[in-house]
Structure 1
């Protein structure tokens, strides 16, 4: 019974974070499109911000993969690492997005 609850909790968490990751990935792609349309000097700034976002995006994807591969007992320990990486990514995205509006 407890194992079933842990499995369901892990699956619900994974679905939630996958949806969030997909959403931010689409938003980053939108920023990339804007960067491609920007003038040369603005494009450099866009690209710098995008490089930072992509590094944080890679970290989030790595943490998500760790959560997905973790045992039912261990995944909650990994949740804090994912949440931290996620916060860094979303904060960096908000900074970049605000900068270019």
Structure 2
């Protein structure tokens, strides 16, 4: 079982990775916008906003864990992991769509 600090470090590293992936998807969407129809461009940005929202929710859950006591963080861990899975799936889906 990981400690709270290890868990938080791992989650921060994943957030950094998602930020980089979202930035790359955003750049790709902006490039595609030059060639894509207006509807496709709007859809890219709609998906990116949804992805950012999920990421922000996951970050919020992580902040709860960080501020929780050593004994209470275990109770919050499941919620963080659910939020993380949601973001991971959204990133995978967006990456597949933007290819």
TM-score normalized with structure 1 length? 0.87
Aligned residue among 11, 14, 28 for 2:8: 14
Distance apart, 1:36 and its partner CA = 1.3
Uncovered stretches (5+) of structure 1, i.e. residues with no partner: 1-5
Structure number with the bigger relative contact order (C-alpha 8 A, sep ≥ 6) is: 2
Query: Please, what is the CA RMSD of the aligned residues?
Result: 1.5
1:49-88 equivalences in 2 (<5 Å): 49-88=47-86
Q: Is the 8 A contact 1:60 1:82 kept in 2?
A: yes
Q: Is the 8 A contact 2:47 2:94 kept in 1?
A: yes
Uncovered stretches (5+) of structure 2, i.e. residues with no partner: none
- Structure 1 CA distance, aligned partners of 2:41 and 2:92? 18
- Aligned equivalent of 1:100: 98
TM-score normalized with structure 2 length? 0.89
- Structure 2 CA distance, aligned partners of 1:92 and 1:13? 21
- Aligned equivalent of 2:22: 28
Q: Is the 8 A contact 1:35 1:42 kept in 2?
A: no
Distance apart, 1:41 and its partner CA = 3.4
